[in-house]
């Protein structure tokens, strides 16, 4: 009985650690591409007498600005590191870039935009 339970328990522990440290279960999925807009056929009716003026559109955030560095830190770093460990590490932006690159090499799942947002947050908050 022990010969069966030990391998099952080992597999369960490895799976939990892998997921907690950003394993395959936390890999972000790609968003589907947007459909190309189609052009409407030319209208044959006369244009309306008055046209409405739309307000100017507000600039949208770039993907790096829209990402929450603190949330990324809690999700991707918190599985293996305590918040206290990160808070006590006072580093420059270059040092944080090196640290995050090392964690990515160890398996932390971050795309380029997430990496930039996380490094910006860490450098601004823990310097």
115's CB contacts (< 8 A; 6+ apart) are 100, 104
* pTM (global) more than 0.95: no
Residue 110 neighbours by CB under 8 Å, 6+ apart: 72, 76, 100, 104, 118
User: Please, what are the domains in the chain?
Assistant: 64-127 (1.10.760.10)
Tens of pLDDT along the chain (127 residues)? 667 777 777 676 767 676 566 554 444 555 555 555 555 555 555 555 555 454 444 444 444 456 898 999 989 888 888 888 888 888 999 999 999 999 999 999 999 999 999 999 999 998 8
């Amino acid at each position: 009985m022990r010969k069966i339970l030990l391998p099952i328990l080992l597999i369960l522990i490895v799976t939990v650690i892998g997921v907690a440290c950003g394993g395959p279960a936390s890999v972000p999925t790609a968003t589907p591409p947007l459909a190309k807009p189609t052009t409407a056929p030319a209208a044959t009716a006369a244009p309306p007498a008055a046209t409405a003026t739309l307000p100017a559109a507000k600039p949208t955030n770039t993907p790096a600005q829209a990402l929450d560095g603190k949330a990324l830190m809690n999700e991707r770093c918190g599985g293996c590191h305590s918040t206290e460990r990160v808070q006590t590490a006072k580093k420059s932006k270059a040092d944080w870039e090196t640290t995050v690159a090392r964690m990515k090499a160890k398996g932390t799942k971050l795309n380029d935009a997430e990496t930039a947002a996380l490094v910006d947050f860490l450098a601004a908050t823990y310097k």
